[in-house]
Amino acid sequence: MNTIENNPPARTVASTQSEMTELILPNDTNVLGNLLGGRLMHFIDLTAAMAAYRHARTYIVTAAMDHIDFIRPVHLGDLVTLRSSVNRAFSTSMEVGVKVWAENTQTGEQLHVASAYLVFVAIDKQGHRKTVPQLIPETPNELRRHADALLRREHREAEAARRKLEKQAHAGQSDTTHSKF
Ligand SMILES: CC(C)(COP(=O)(O)OP(=O)(O)OC[C@H]1O[C@@H](n2cnc3c(N)ncnc32)[C@H](O)[C@@H]1OP(=O)(O)O)[C@@H](O)C(=O)NCCC(=O)NCCS
Residue with CA nearest ligand 1 atom 8: 63
**CA 96–ligand 1 middle distance (angstroms):** 14
**CA 120–ligand 1 middle distance (angstroms):** 7
Cβ–Cβ under 8 Å, residues 171 and 163: no
How remote is the C-alpha of 156 from its chain's centroid? 13
Coil, strand or helix at 108: coil
**Closest ligand 1 atom, residue 94 Cα:** 34
- DSSP-assigned states of every residue in 23-65: E--GGGB-TTSBB-HHHHHHHHHHHHHHHHHHHH-SEEEEEEE
**What's the pLDDT at 3?**
58
Q: Which of 66, 87, 93 to mutate to test the pocket of ligand 1 (most atoms within 8 A of CB)?
A: 93
**What's the pLDDT at 179?**
47
**Closest ligand 1 atom, residue 91 Cα:** 34
- The torsion angles phi and psi of 145, rounded to 5 degrees, stand at -65, -35
Q: Confidence band (pLDDT; 50, 70, 90) for 178?
A: low
Distances from the Cα of 29 to the Cα of 39, 73, 75, 94, 141, angstroms: 8, 11, 8, 31, 33
**How confident is the model over 159-171, as a mean pLDDT?**
92
What are 21-78's pLDDT values in tens digits?
999 999 999 999 999 999 999 999 999 999 999 999 999 999 999 878 889 999 999 9
Q: Which of 7-11, 84-88, 172-176 has the highest mean pLDDT?
A: 84-88
Please list every protein residue whose CB sits less than 6 Å from any atom of ligand 1. 61-64, 90-93, 119, 121, 129, 156
Cβ of 91: how many Cβ atoms within 10 Å? 13
Q: Confidence band (pLDDT; 50, 70, 90) for 92?
A: very high
Residue with CA nearest ligand 1 atom 1: 63
**What's the pLDDT at 4?**
56
What are 94-127's pLDDT values in tens digits?
999 999 999 999 999 999 999 999 999 999 999 9
**What's the pLDDT at 181?**
42
The full length of the chain comes to 181
Q: Is the pTM of this model over 0.85?
A: yes
Distance between CA atoms of residues 152 and 160, nearest Å: 12
Domain boundary assignment for the chain: 2-179
Q: Which CATH superfamily is domain 2-179 in?
A: Hotdog Thioesterase (3.10.129.10)
Distance between CA atoms of residues 141 and 10, nearest Å: 19
Residue with CA nearest ligand 1 atom 29: 93
Cβ–Cβ under 8 Å, residues 78 and 104: yes
